[in-house]
Amino acid sequence: MPASVSSEQMASPGDLSTSQGPILPAESDSQYPPPVEHPSEPEIDSVTTSRSLARRAYRRSPAVSPRPVAAPAPEAITQHSILDPIQPVGNAIACPLVGAAFTFFLRAAMFPARTLLRARTLVLALILVFTFTWSYTQWRDFPFSQQAQPTQSETVSDSKQAETWQHNPAGHIKFWRQFQPLLAKHEPKCEPPLRLGSAPSIRFEQSNPEDRPELLDMLPFDVDIMKDAHTGFVDAINANAPQLNYTPNTRGLVSTAGGSYLPVLVISLRMLRRTGSKLPLEVFLADEAEYEEHICDVVLPSLNARCVLMSNILNAVSGTVEIQKYQFKLFAMLFSSFEEILFLDADAFPLQRPELLFTREPFASRQMVTWPDFWASTISSYYYEISSQPYPEHAVRQSSESGEVLISKKTHLKTLLLSTYYNVWGPDFYYPLLSQGAAGEGDKETFIAAASRLQEPYYQVSEPICAIGHGTEGGLAGSAMVQFDPIEDHALTQKGEWRVHGSQAPAPRAFFIHANYPKFNPATVFEKQAVNPAYADDGSYTRAWTIPNNVIKAFDTDVEKGFWDEILWTACELEDKFRTWNGKTGICMGVKNYWNAMFGIGHAAR
């Protein structure tokens, strides 16, 4: 039976990979996310109670006992007159100078008596013109939003992408034909862990290593079955791992989208291009039903991106493994064309050129970088027994936020395979084992868990994630999250400066914004929601991102204005192009009214 995919399943994994809720209490620290509403705990009737007591009575003691941004837009914008800050600049300045030099040469040739003097002057003029032309072309191509110039290896790698970027479905199908039976063979064929409640969402810096929750229950023989399946899978990939298909020595970006996420993806992609990045992007869609011709054939290629249909690979191999929601992120990574990849959720974008991350520490030596979530990790002790690892004594770490993942498919092949195993068998088994129902339960904890089990190196950024938004009577109305520069973070931690543990060292610069709550889709962003980023308490327009003030000021540029510039461009230039916008009216006008109120004449840039 072919693996099934659906539009609902293809929704961006960012939905549950973040734990940010709607409102931050006014008395709380401004970096805190809003409180998380947990799903109600299951009612435990007499049957469930008996089952749990029986498990506890007959459970064999485990090995270790479990313990309970940008170019300005016009001052006033009218329809079909939106300035595109990404348009290229030509060589018009250099051409008149070359013509002048040529005229000078002709006149000199007409007066032989002055040949020597004219020749010397001509040579100097030509040298001057050549120098100016070369300098201008270099200046034109320099990305002004970039704070550090790329190295020679970075430049060579960037230019190589256009020559080598080619998605090869046949190679990915070959890999999937080998890998899918391996996943099926080592399915955990037992009762899933019994949930006794949901783990609390506790900030990492407030967590107590001695007080780790245990809210799952498993019978000993179920633990044995899962352990045997896990051991069999790990042994199989250690002995003869299926080889991923990719073009060697390439780097690129990977994302998933489709449906209402396509407009959000286009906005994020245009924000990426504002940094000067030329890295190609592969956008994975669930199936043919999500393929939108104008977006995939015109808009994305103009931004060095292309659509890839997941179903063309998954459905080419018959089998029993069904791909569920929140599992597409891993498969997009597996089926991407590049050796080194930066995965970004559709609603996440960088503030700096991401090319920098690939050639500098910590990625240069670790080859895998992740970013933190707000909360402390809540891994169950059962996971360590099932994965044949010792239970860590004092190793509470930050949980992961998977809107951004940087990884090498060459060096971390096995990590990706084991992480996929955790995701395929995640909803019933490994998601509860790795999160125990804590905020954001899903794929986000599988990356570090897999790398740790296989003892493959990784670096998790230590600088805490920061919620940004605007103030309301109830506190911070958080609508986005900021993640920080791993290069600067690594430089601090190498010196023993751990800001998460109280160091007063200056913070690393902001590197990513994950605008996840709500999605800044131009067709829906002005609708009444739990968080209304465009509206103040009294219903008037407001900027979305004004606090924490120190974080906003550290951007150095008016990132929010640049973001709304791209929302405006997308709303007005593509108003009749997105399938999910069919039948909707006033999308462009709604964004235009907001833009003119917030950024038009009389509104100084922040």
Report the pLDDT averaged over residues 405-433. 98
CA 115 – CA 510 distance, rounded (Å): 61
306, pLDDT greater than 80: yes
Q: What percent of the chain has pLDDT over 90?
A: 62
Is it true that domain 54-68+163-462 has CATH number 3.30.450? Answer: no
Report the run of H or E that residue 511 belongs to, with start and end: strand 510-514
CA 346 → CA 155, 199, 529, distances in Å? 26, 28, 20
> What are phi and psi for residue 595, nearest 5 degrees?
-60, -45
Q: What is the pLDDT of residue 207?
A: 66
Report the pLDDT averaged over residues 346-375. 98
229-270, pLDDT tens digit by residue? 999 999 999 999 999 999 999 999 999 999 999 999 999 999
- Whole-model pTM: value is 0.78
Q: What is the DSSP letter of 323?
A: P
Lowest-confidence pick of 151-155, 162-166, 297-301, 343-347: 151-155
Lowest-confidence pick of 34-38, 537-541, 584-588: 34-38
Q: What is the pLDDT of residue 118?
A: 57
90, pLDDT greater than 70: no
Q: What is the pLDDT of residue 124?
A: 63
Q: What is the pLDDT of residue 22?
A: 39
26-81, pLDDT tens digit by residue? 333 434 454 444 444 444 344 444 444 444 444 444 433 333 333 334 333 333 33
Report the pLDDT averaged over residues 567-596. 98
Report for 316-320, 402-406, 442-446: range of highest mean pLDDT: 402-406
Q: b/e for 249-259, b at 16 or more Cβ within 10 A?
A: ebbbbbbbbbb
CA 404 – CA 406 distance, rounded (Å): 7
Report the run of H or E that residue 422 belongs to, with start and end: helix 413-424
285-296, pLDDT tens digit by residue? 999 999 999 999
Sequence-separated (6 or more) residues with CB below 8 Å from residue 21: 33, 34, 35, 36, 37, 478, 517, 530
The chain-wide mean pLDDT, for the chain, equals 80
C-alpha 214: how far from chain center:
30
Q: What is the pLDDT of residue 500?
A: 86
Q: What is the pLDDT of residue 502?
A: 86
Report the pLDDT averaged over residues 178-198. 96
Lowest-confidence pick of 34-48, 366-380, 550-564: 34-48
Q: What is the pLDDT of residue 394?
A: 62
Lowest-confidence pick of 63-72, 131-140, 467-476: 63-72
Q: What is the pLDDT of residue 89?
A: 33
Q: What is the pLDDT of residue 123?
A: 58
Report the run of H or E that residue 216 belongs to, with start and end: strand 216-217
- pLDDT category of residue 395 using cuts at 50, 70 and 90: low
- pLDDT category of residue 354 using cuts at 50, 70 and 90: very high
The backbone region for 509, taken as left when phi is positive above 0, alpha when psi lies in -120 to 50, beta otherwise, is beta
Q: What is the pLDDT of residue 87?
A: 41
Lowest-confidence pick of 101-105, 203-207, 405-409: 101-105
Sequence-separated (6 or more) residues with CB below 8 Å from residue 399: 19, 204, 372, 373, 374, 375, 376, 377, 378, 435, 438, 440, 444, 445
Can you list the pairs that 357-364 forms with residues at least 24 positions away whose Cβ atoms lie under 8 Å? 357/406, 357/486, 357/487, 358/154, 358/157, 358/251, 358/406, 359/151, 359/153, 359/154, 359/157, 360/487, 361/487, 361/490, 361/491, 362/459, 362/486, 362/487, 362/490, 363/406, 363/408, 363/459, 363/486
| Helix, strand, coil shares, percent, the chain, to 5 | 40, 15, 45
Q: What is the pLDDT of residue 213?
A: 81
Report the pLDDT averaged over residues 111-136. 53
551, pLDDT greater than 70: yes
Count, residues in the chain:
606
308, pLDDT greater than 50: yes
Q: What is the dihedral of CA 426, 429, 431, 436, to 10 degrees?
A: 170
